[in-house]
């Protein structure tokens, strides 16, 4: 039988990093994710791995750049204000095509905001928070179990595409405890010797890590190469979960914590005879546009529920492309909608659209 | 009748330092040992500096949807602000268990089961104020046997850091004391 | 609020006792500066932040510069400083207070501008901004609260954490061979030509408080000279994360902190610097 542990999302993520063979973690304290650094400060030395409290998130992400450029499996984590500080470094990492895992335990903003959960960093995460044309693969866990599972997945995808992967969580998933099982994991063999800066032997040309291509012609070639990679990612890595969609007349679209709240709202709505389903994007980039398009010919209306002022809803609308109404309901500032509140809003919308 | 203990949505609330979070955590752990689905969602942040703390603990036979909820099957409240805040959020027919030495103005609701236990005084009698929360937990489990006593004792062993394992016997006594106090009150378990 | 209200609180009339003294008969021996907002603070019991807030506000009151003072609050436990100091203030991003203060002071050179920063804020994430502001000789006063930990985020290691000191991110004690020695900010910054007055003080005894007050008074008085940056490092405390009572914390400062962070003036204006007076 599976062996379960009771852990906070942040701790499960940290433990999974160790099990995934993470060679180095660099971070700076910030609520609500300081447990990651605290856990790893305690555990990593036992495994002879590197853990370092940096002097800032600017430093953390650049330490990640260095370690990843040397071919090591490496990660950092922070929460919204710290992730904002990292944006420059992330752009450089994407430009230099370095595999690494970045975790954002989203809190509500803007600015210093509050330390309570939020999903206001959606745009920053999926549309490119730093400068230039780049994309991160963005994974959105909705449970403590997924906090652990997506660490393995994230590292593997990072290696596969030589691209930064962002795990976009939130304060609630980070702080809450659920049971978690650390599944056996085998690390895919990846050859980094063709680019990692490990010291040049006579037998090969030098390796160097850079995002600088000063001649426009060469820069564009590099851009096109990146675009080709993002196309591959869009074709191969879309992930989502569907609940109760087979008979659904309406559809919730929500990720992370919002998706959990929507599940409860769905139960309540179905008891009231409203046939609603849930589509939960697991990858926020690449986004399940295709599946939304298909569902748009089945359901009469979609409702995107988010802990922000309406960000992902724009992607839902892109997928649906005008076929059915796409509505939005959200709370901000660290406030959470109750399932009852969502159902109430849903009922009002159904009446408004006369789509019954 | 509740749905056969299929789902219990509980809030535990009080001052930081009253053992609110560990009470919920012990319960969640015991649920896990019984192969149930569980979630434990704490309040966090600077308000915990001497302020109030609470945690939502859910134990269920099925996959848990939202870890954050606004209405509860049961509430355990250990200070007046928590009584004022959470009493209105107990579902009709639910349970409100409170520390009667600390809370002088319990809710006046009549559609829920209100049980006051002087757990602090009891803990003082046991010469360890820290076990107040375990007395309360014992009382709660007598009212709502969502997990077995064996699981709770095993959970305690896991939740308590090893250096405190000499305190296991007194914790067990506290649990038993809480159960006995409810029995003395002649309140029927709600299931 | 009138000062009388401070010495004659509500209960006297409520009790309905015949007054033994009229209000005028009381001699005013102490009052909270009027430049403090009259409210409850969020700081833990015994925390030094509140005391130092008050000292700064006493200086502002005594110099009568409330109208001319702009403060910059950090990110740290003192993030709400603007709730307590009755002056114009700006809240800076974590570590950026000196850059924000530069912006303020350069545009308003006649104002008294100060930053109030913790050790994480100033010496970790914000050391670059701090160092460059001092190197430029910004005519600001930096009040640096060194409590050797990150208080706000619950006790992680700071750049000023003592060797061997246990924190949540140095669970086996700060290992100097791994993380380096604690940064002696005052000594470090005093090397910069832009630093005009640099001192390190404490607030764990009545005498220490008096000396700190004097240092803050000087630092503010020097501002109109336009001679450079004044840095007042203050050994604060963090009873909550040091896991000590406030009294134990005060003792810890005398017995341990001062070994690494000796108290006293590190750079004082020379006689000719002061000629301008
Ligand atoms: C960019 C960013 N990173 C991290 C944080 C989280 N944070 C808030 S306060 C703080 C440290 C405060 O320590 P210190 O400056 O020593 O102040 P104290 O609380 O000890 O007075 C940190 C890391 C933040 N707010 N912003
Ligand atoms: S945590 Fe430490 S620094 Fe912050 S208010 Fe409490 S005692 Fe003061
Ligand atoms: Mg500090």
Q: What is the DSSP secondary-structure string of B39-98?
A: EEEE--SGGGSSSEEEEEEEEESS----S--SSEEEEEE-SHHHHHHHGGGEEEEEEEEE
Q: In the structure, what pLDDT confidence band is assigned to residue B49 with cuts at 50, 70 and 90?
A: low
The nearest alpha carbon in chain A to C169 belongs to: A38
Does residue B144 carry a pLDDT above 80? yes
Q: What is the pLDDT of residue A208?
A: 93
Q: Would residue B174 be called left, alpha or beta, if left means φ above 0 and alpha means ψ between -120 and 50 degrees?
A: alpha
A43 touches chain C (CB under 8 A): no
pLDDT in tens, A149-202: 999 999 999 999 999 999 999 999 999 999 999 999 999 999 999 999 999 999
d(CA B43, CA B176): 28
C-alpha R_g of chain A: 21
Pocket residues: Cβ below 6 A from ligand 2: C 43-44, 47, 49, 77, 147, 151, 238-241
Q: What is the pLDDT of residue B3?
A: 44
d(CA C1, CA C34): 8
Helix (H, G, I), strand (E, B) or coil at B2: coil
Q: What is the mean pLDDT of residues B27-39?
A: 97
pLDDT in tens, B59-81: 999 999 999 999 999 999 999 99
User: Right CATH number for A4-191+223-236 from 3.40.50.970, 3.40.800.20, 3.20.20.80, 3.30.930.10?
Assistant: 3.40.50.970
d(CA A78, CA B150): 40
- Which residues make up the environment of ion ligand 3, defined by Cβ < 5 Å? C 118-119, 147
pLDDT in tens, A87-102: 999 999 999 999 999 9
CA of C151 to the centre of ligand 2 (A): 5
Q: Which ligand is nearest to the CA of C120?
A: 1
Residue nearest to atom 10 of ligand 1 (CA): C76
User: Right CATH number for A240-353 from 3.40.50.300, 3.40.50.920, 3.40.50.740, 1.10.287.130?
Assistant: 3.40.50.920
The nearest alpha carbon in chain B to A278 belongs to: B65
Q: How many angstroms away from the CA of A286 is the closest CA of chain B? A: 25
Chain B residues in contact with A145 by the CB 8 A cut-off are: none
A38 touches chain C (CB under 8 A): yes
Q: Is any ligand 1 atom within 6 A of the Cβ of residue C158?
A: yes
Q: How many angstroms away from the CA of B25 is the closest CA of chain A? A: 8
d(CA A199, CA A207): 8
Helix (H, G, I), strand (E, B) or coil at B7: strand
d(CA C261, CA A174): 37
Q: In the structure, what pLDDT confidence band is assigned to residue B50 with cuts at 50, 70 and 90?
A: low
Q: What is the pLDDT of residue C23?
A: 66
Domains of chain B: 7-185 (3.40.920.10)
Q: How many helices (H) and strands (E) does chain B have?
A: 6, 6
Give, in order, the Cα–Cα distances in Å from C95 to each of A84, B81, C168: 14, 37, 21
Those residues of chain C that have pLDDT short of 70 are 1-23, 274-277
CATH 3.40.50.920 boundaries in chain A? 240-353
Q: What is the dihedral of CA A5, A9, A11, A15, to 10 degrees?
A: 70
Beta bridge partners of A168: A104
Chain B residues in contact with A338 by the CB 8 A cut-off are: 69-70
Helix (H, G, I), strand (E, B) or coil at B172: helix
A31 touches chain C (CB under 8 A): yes
- A234, with CB counted inside 10 A (0-12, 13-18, 19+), is middle
Strand C112-118 and strand A74-78: the pairing is unpaired
Render chain C in DSSP notation, one character per residue: --THHHHS-THHHHHTPPPSS-GGGS-------TTB--S---SPTT-HHHHHHHHHHHHHHHTT-GGGEEEEE-SSGGGGHHHHB-SEEEEPPTT-HHHHHHHHHHH-TTSEEEEEEEHIIIIIITHHHHHHHHHTT-S-EEEEEE-SEETTTTSEE-TTPPTT--BTTBTT---HHHH-SPP-HHHHHHTSTTEEEEEEEE-SSHHHHHHHHHHHHHHHHHGGG---EEEEEEE---HHHHT--HHHHHHHIIIIIHHHS--EEEE---TTGGGG-
Class of domain C45-267: alpha beta
> How many other CB atoms are found less than 10 A from the CB of residue A19?
16
Do C237 and C204 contact (CB within 8 A), yes or no?
Answer: yes
Do A257 and A170 contact (CB within 8 A), yes or no?
Answer: yes
Q: One digit per residue, pLDDT tens: chain A, 356 residues?
A: 679 999 999 999 999 999 999 999 999 999 999 999 999 999 999 999 999 999 999 999 999 999 999 999 999 999 999 999 999 999 999 999 999 999 999 999 999 999 999 999 999 999 989 999 999 999 999 999 999 999 999 999 999 999 999 999 999 999 999 999 999 999 999 999 999 999 999 999 999 999 999 999 999 999 999 999 999 999 999 999 999 999 999 999 999 999 999 999 999 999 999 999 999 999 999 999 999 999 999 999 999 999 999 999 999 999 999 999 999 999 999 999 999 999 999 999 999 987 65
């Amino acid at each position: 039988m599976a062996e379960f542990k009771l852990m906070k999302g942040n701790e499960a993520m940290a433990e999974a990093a160790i099990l995934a063979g993470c060679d180095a973690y660099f971070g700076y304290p910030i609520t609500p994710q300081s447990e990651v650094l605290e856990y790893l400060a305690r555990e990593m030395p036992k495994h002879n791995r590197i853990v370092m409290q940096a002097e800032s998130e600017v430093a953390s992400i650049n330490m990640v750049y260095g370690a990843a450029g040397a071919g090591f499996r490496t990660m950092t984590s922070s929460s919204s204000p710290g992730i904002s500080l990292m944006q420059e470094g992330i752009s450089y990492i994407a430009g230099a095509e370095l595999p690494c895992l970045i975790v954002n335990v989203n809190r509500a903003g803007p600015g210093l905001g509050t330390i309570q959960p939020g999903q206001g960093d959606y745009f920053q995460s999926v549309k490119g928070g730093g400068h230039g044309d780049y994309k991160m693969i963005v994974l959105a866990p909705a449970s403590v179990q997924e906090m652990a599972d997506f660490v393995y997945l994230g590292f593997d995808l990072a290696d596969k595409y030589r691209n930064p992967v962002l795990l976009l969580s939130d304060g609630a998933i980070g702080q809450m405890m659920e049971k978690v099982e650390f599944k056996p994991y085998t690390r895919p063999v990846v050859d980094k010797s063709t680019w990692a800066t490990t010291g040049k032997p006579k037998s090969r040309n030098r390796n160097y890590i850079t995002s600088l291509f000063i001649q426009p012609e060469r820069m564009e070639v590099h851009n096109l190469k990146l675009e080709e990679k993002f196309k591959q990612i869009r074709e191969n890595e879309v992930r989502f979960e569907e609940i109760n969609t087979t008979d659904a007349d309406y559809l919730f679209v929500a990720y992370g914590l919002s998706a959990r709240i929507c599940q409860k709202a769905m139960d309540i709505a179905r008891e009231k005879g409203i046939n609603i389903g849930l589509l939960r994007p697991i990858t926020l980039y690449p986004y399940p546009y295709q599946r939304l398009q298909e569902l748009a010919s089945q359901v009469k209306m979609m409702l995107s529920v988010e802990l922000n002022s309406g960000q992902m809803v724009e992607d839902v609308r892109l997928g649906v492309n005008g076929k059915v109404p796409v509505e939005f309901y959200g709370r901000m500032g660290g406030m959470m909608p109750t399932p009852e509140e969502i159902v109430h809003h849903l009922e009002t919308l159904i009446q408004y659209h006369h789509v019954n | 009748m509740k749905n056969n203990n299929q789902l219990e949505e509980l809030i535990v609330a009080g001052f930081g330092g009253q053992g609110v979070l560990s009470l919920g955590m012990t319960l969640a752990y015991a649920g896990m040992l019984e192969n149930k689905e569980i979630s434990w969602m704490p309040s966090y942040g600077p308000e915990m500096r001497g302020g109030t703390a609470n945690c939502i603990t859910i134990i269920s036979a099925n996959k848990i949807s939202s870890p954050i909820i606004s209405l509860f099957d049961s509430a355990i409240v250990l200070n007046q602000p928590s009584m004022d805040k959470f009493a209105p959020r107990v579902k009709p027919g639910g349970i409100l268990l409170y520390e009667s030495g600390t809370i002088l103005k319990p809710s006046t609701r009549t559609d829920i089961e209100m049980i006051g236990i002087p757990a602090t005084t009891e803990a003082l009698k046991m010469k360890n104020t820290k076990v107040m929360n375990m007395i309360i937990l014992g009382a709660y489990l007598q009212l709502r046997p969502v997990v077995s006593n064996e699981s709770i004792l095993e959970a305690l062993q896991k939740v308590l850091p090893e250096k405190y394992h000499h305190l296991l016997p007194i914790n067990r006594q506290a649990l038993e004391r809480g159960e006995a106090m409810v029995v003395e009150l002649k309140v029927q378990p709600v299931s | 609020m009138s000062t009388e209200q401070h010495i004659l609180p509500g209960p006297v009339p409520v009790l309905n006792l015949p007054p033994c003294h009229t209000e005028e008969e009381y001699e005013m021996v102490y009052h909270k500066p009027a430049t403090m907002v009259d409210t409850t603070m969020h700081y833990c019991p015994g925390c030094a932040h509140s005391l130092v807030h008050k000292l700064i506000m006493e200086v502002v009151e005594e110099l009568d510069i409330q109208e001319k003072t702009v403060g910059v609050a950090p990110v740290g436990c003192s993030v709400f400083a603007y709730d307590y100091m009755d002056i114009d203030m700006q809240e800076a991003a974590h570590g950026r207070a000196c850059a924000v203060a530069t912006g303020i002071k350069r545009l308003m050179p006649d104002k008294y501008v100060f930053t109030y920063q913790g050790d994480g804020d100033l010496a970790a994430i914000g050391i670059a901004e701090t160092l460059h502001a001092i190197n430029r000789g910004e005519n600001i006063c930096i009040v640096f609260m060194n409590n050797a930990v990150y208080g706000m985020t619950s006790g992680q290691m700071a750049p000023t954490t003592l060797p061997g000191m246990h924190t949540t991110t140095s669970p086996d004690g700060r290992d100097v061979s791994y993380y380096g020695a604690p940064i002696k900010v005052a000594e470090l910054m005093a090397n910069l030509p832009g630093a005009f007055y640099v001192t390190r003080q404490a607030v764990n005894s009545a005498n220490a408080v008096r000396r700190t007050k004097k240092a803050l008074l000087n630092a503010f008085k020097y501002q109109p000279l336009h001679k450079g940056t004044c840095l007042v490092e203050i050994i604060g405390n963090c009873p909550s994360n040091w896991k000590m009572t406030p009294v134990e914390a005060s003792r810890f400062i005398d017995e341990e902190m001062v070994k690494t962070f000796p108290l006293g003036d590190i750079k004082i204006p020379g006689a000719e610097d002061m000629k301008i007076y």
